[in-house]
Amino acid sequence: MRIRSKVVPLAIPAVALGLIVSGCSSGGGNQVANVNVGTTNDINRQDPGTLRDGGNLRLAISSFPATFNNLHIDGGDADVASIVDPLMPEPFVSNAAGELSVNHDYFTDVKLTNTNPQQVTYTINPKAVWSDGTPITWADLQSEAHALGSAGQGFQVSSTQGFERVAKVERGADDRQAVVTFNKPYAEWQGMFGPLYPKSVTESPQAFNDVDRNDLKVSSGPFVITNIDKTQDRVVLGRNPKWWGATPKLSTITFTRLDQSAVLGAVQNNEIDYTYVSGLANVVAAKGTPGIVVRRSPEPSWSHITFNGAPGALLADSKLRIAISKAIDRQAIVTQAQTGIVDNPKPLNNHVFVMGQKGYQDNSAPAAFDPTAAAKDLDDLGWKLNGNVREKDGKKLELRDVMFDQKEWVDTAKIVQQDLAKVGVKVDIQTVPGNGLFTNVIDPGNFDLAQFTWGGSPLPLTALPQIYAYDPNNLQGNKARIGSTQLNDLIEKTISELEPAKASELANECDKMIWQEGYSLPLQQASGTYATRANLANIGAFGLANADWTKVGFQK
């Protein structure tokens, strides 16, 4: 589990040491409890020395990777992030409390060495090498910084993640040290270079697009890709013979693409070992499966409905989006999704912070549920009832709501459909297989409403420039195509603030503007529920922590 933000279909888009996008719904829990992120997790922690040597961990993905470059717009989702997690370097790791520390497998030290101008010095572990045996050097960091900061030069990045603020990356004391100098302060600099790719992938737009399109040519982790079978939609990882760190307990990790409807059955039939589960019926079924334990720890992921506000789109008018928002009963959605799993389910009311995270506050007043006010707003905007559906200038107010083909998402959509029908808005529910939701539908803007999940991290501010800043020439994670110069300027001010309390205050001012824009409707925050093979150790519900893939294994 990377600190980097992520996009995951379940349905979650990926953000850096910050967010991921996914199509999966967020619900679930081992027992009734709240969803506030905390300081503990549930991973069956065991001394690796007591575990069996070897074994194959079988995991499911929702879609087969369009590229193995997690930095590319086509690869910035949770499925790709989950595959590359055991394969690529990152400078920091997080514990269950969200506290960051240097990842000493790859770096002996990473520290802020100057604030005016801001400078960060990365000292690379002298043992760290790429899977082809070449050393990891400062040039790899320099090349990645240039690529992610140069979207206007043809690099199709999923997130600039602060790299647009980098003035230069220089060689330090030797090839194993990089000194990064910023031209503007960046608050969440710990989220940068995670994952780090070799210079061969980031040295040009063509390389960035093509080198890792069909496989991961060069990696650097405890595992490497040993087999890719596109006919079976399967990716197999094996131990990296060039790995210098602790020997992994597992021999292999196998990822297989499964439709969401098939995942629970695969767990019950002993075909996969570990998966997220949502919805009370699925959680109960998982708990009742012999050999399976449901592990739970709240995590910074949340489901939402994003509006398509692109110029010329049906919902381009922010006042129309707000009117529609007022007609949707978010509490009813969350109650349906989390009753029996979460104690006192309630909607998430912030686009930046999750419940339990420092900085969280309720800024949702502009979208408060009020169907009477919604109907009046629609009338005032010229959308008049004609039979059961409103019309304006000969156009019907009929919205396409797209989502993964998964029961929990459809259940949410049905509530939205019923709520909006009461105010004269027709909703067409359109489900999409995992392989096509983002690439073919959401990213091209082929929707009015889109349901998916954002997965967060201990560095929440990363979401602001990645998702909510708007540049029509570089959308990054802005699936809604909504924003303003004023919001962009405030985001810029927020992520430039190095004093955490002030940065949180500014982030909430951003969130208020995001609500006023009618960007999206946050729904439920994930309780973090995972069906896990009972004899698996050091894996389960990680909460805010990273997985240590050298420690994951089977008990004897």
- Per-residue pLDDT at 479: 95
- Per-residue pLDDT at 152: 75
Phi/psi of residue 406, nearest 5 degrees = -145, 135
Alpha helices in 381-499 (DSSP H): 407-421, 463, 485-495
CA atoms of 118 and 139, how far apart (whole Å): 20
* Contact (CB, 8 A) for 71 and 157: yes
Range 346-358 average pLDDT: 94
Range 492-514 average pLDDT: 96
The candidate with the shortest Cα–Cα distance to 196, out of 180, 184, 172, 174, is 180
Residues in the chain: 556
* Contact (CB, 8 A) for 68 and 76: no
- Per-residue pLDDT at 21: 57
- Per-residue pLDDT at 39: 83
Task: Give whole-number Cα distances, 371 to 242, 386, 390, 422, 425, in Å.
Answer: 61, 18, 15, 8, 12
- Per-residue pLDDT at 466: 87
The candidate with the shortest Cα–Cα distance to 9, out of 265, 195, 276, is 276
Place of tokens 């962009």: 488
Better-predicted residue by pLDDT, 445 or 408: 445
Model confidence pLDDT, tens digit, residues 43-53: 999 999 999 99
Model confidence pLDDT, tens digit, residues 409-460: 999 999 999 999 999 999 999 999 867 888 899 999 999 999 999 988 889 9
